[in-house]
């Protein structure tokens, strides 16, 4: 059985995710394909993740790909998480992950509106509400969630939660209807009325935004292709890594591994998997430094993370499993980073590193400070390290 040690896994990560300087990408599309797709729950993450993987990038480069060329698309997918995916991967993500999310979210919404007494027949209400949204967005129109709620009575109403609790309140049902349509692949987040650090999407039908209906794949084919893509960019990895990344089941992942003829390999005593044509040894890479944002796809890409995270999980991941901003040296996490009150990027080391690493990380901090140009990025999911230091 082929064995992979952590050194080789870290070299693969550096090259395939475009993080080593010599492997950095020239376009935002290539930077996105490196880790398959980019996390977009926090709007700033997309830009900071792409920038970390490119030789040079301006905000306008990514905005052009998202809103002008539409070569990249925001889409709700694995683990009910918003991603930016290459346009050609959209049908695969829709079949292999998003359709399952759509089914779960639709059933949950139907149950919630019935339980709250808003409607008697939740399924009928949801079908009518979805049809009304699609009708309102006909002929290529874009509209915000607020505009749609003001026009469509079926999107009115809210569900009360946490009665008597400090965190209680009301959640409008209109945005959840858009969530189901998005996961079904019928609407997309189109233009953004906010800055690059904020998300104020205007919604459009997928056909109007992309100029065509995406190809339709069956679930098994989509899931197998997602597993193939993940193994090609993140492999070798374990069954649990894939189950977590896909938000799927062990049985479904096992079937997909069989469908792509994945090969078992040894990961320091654990069973891992790679594609059958991906067994050749990887050459070492020169030591490299990177500062990645919270929810970066590399930080979040595996479930079993000790081989690159070491003892720092409790410092850099919150209780819900959201990874914060990380500082990397030569394929492993050695700390985090934050912005000072004046916008300067500051590295927060969690362990002693040698002088070469410290200097390289400081240089990365200087480059990121210059790129941000005074823009402050507030972390949506600050890490315990940030909170402990009083910095977010």
pLDDT band at residue 390 under the 50/70/90 scheme:
low
pLDDT digits (tens, 9 = 90+) for 181-202: 999 999 999 999 999 999 999 9
Q: Of the CATH numbers 3.30.450, 1.10.260, 3.30.70, 1.10.10, which one belongs to the domain with range 88-210?
A: 1.10.10
Provide the pLDDT for residue 391.
54
Please answer whether residues 231 and 275 qualify as being in contact, where contact means their C-beta atoms are separated by less than 8 angstroms. yes
pLDDT digits (tens, 9 = 90+) for 203-225: 999 999 999 988 999 999 999 99
pLDDT digits (tens, 9 = 90+) for 227-278: 999 999 999 999 999 999 999 999 999 999 999 999 999 999 999 999 999 9
pLDDT digits (tens, 9 = 90+) for 136-150: 999 899 999 999 999
Please answer whether residues 144 and 202 qualify as being in contact, where contact means their C-beta atoms are separated by less than 8 angstroms. yes
Please answer whether residues 29 and 72 qualify as being in contact, where contact means their C-beta atoms are separated by less than 8 angstroms. yes
Section 283-305 average pLDDT: 97
How far apart, in whole angstroms, are the C-alpha atoms of residue 30 and residue 26?
A: 7
Section 30-42 average pLDDT: 97
- Domain ranges in the chain are 88-210, 305-388
pTM of the entire predicted model: 0.95
Provide the pLDDT for residue 380.
86
How far apart, in whole angstroms, are the C-alpha atoms of residue 379 and residue 383?
A: 9
């Amino acid at each position: 059985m082929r064995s992979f040690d952590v050194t080789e896994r870290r070299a693969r990560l550096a090259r395939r995710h475009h993080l080593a300087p010599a492997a950095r990408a020239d376009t935002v599309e290539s930077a996105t394909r490196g880790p398959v797709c980019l996390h977009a729950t926090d709007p700033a993450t997309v830009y900071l993740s792409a920038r970390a993987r490119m030789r040079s990038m301006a905000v306008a480069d990514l905005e052009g790909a998202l809103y002008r060329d539409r070569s990249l698309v925001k889409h709700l997918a694995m683990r009910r998480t918003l991603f930016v995916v290459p346009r050609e991967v959209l049908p695969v993500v829709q079949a292999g992950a998003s359709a399952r999310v759509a089914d779960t979210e639709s059933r949950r919404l139907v149950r919630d509106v019935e339980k709250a007494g808003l409607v008697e027949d939740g399924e009928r209400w949801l079908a009518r509400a979805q049809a009304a949204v699609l009708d309102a967005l006909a002929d290529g129109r874009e509209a915000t969630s607020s505009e749609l709620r003001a026009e469509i009575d079926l999107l009115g109403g809210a569900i009360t939660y946490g009665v008597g609790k400090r965190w209680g309140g009301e959640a409008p049902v209109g945005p959840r209807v858009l969530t189901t349509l998005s996961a079904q692949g019928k609407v997309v987040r189109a233009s953004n009325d906010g800055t690059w650090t904020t998300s104020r999407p205007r919604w459009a039908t997928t056909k109007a935004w992309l100029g065509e209906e995406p190809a339709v794949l069956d679930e098994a084919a989509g899931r197998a292709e997602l597993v193939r893509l993940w193994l090609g960019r993140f492999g070798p990895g374990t069954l649990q890594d894939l189950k977590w990344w896909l938000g799927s089941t062990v049985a479904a992942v096992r079937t997909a591994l069989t469908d792509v003829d994945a090969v078992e390999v040894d990961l320091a005593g654990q069973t891992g998997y790679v594609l059958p044509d991906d067994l050749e040894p990887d050459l070492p890479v020169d030591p490299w430094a990177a500062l990645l944002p919270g929810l970066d796809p590399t930080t979040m890409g595996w479930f079993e993370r000790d081989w690159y995270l070491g003892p720092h999980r409790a410092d850099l991941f919150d209780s819900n499993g959201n990874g914060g901003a990380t500082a990397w040296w030569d394929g492993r996490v050695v700390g985090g980073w934050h912005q000072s009150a004046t916008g300067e990027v500051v590295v927060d080391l969690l362990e002693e590193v040698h002088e070469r690493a410290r200097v390289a990380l400081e240089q990365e901090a200087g480059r990121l400070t210059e790129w941000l140009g005074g823009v402050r990025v507030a972390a949506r999911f600050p890490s315990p390290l940030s909170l402990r230091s009083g910095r977010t």
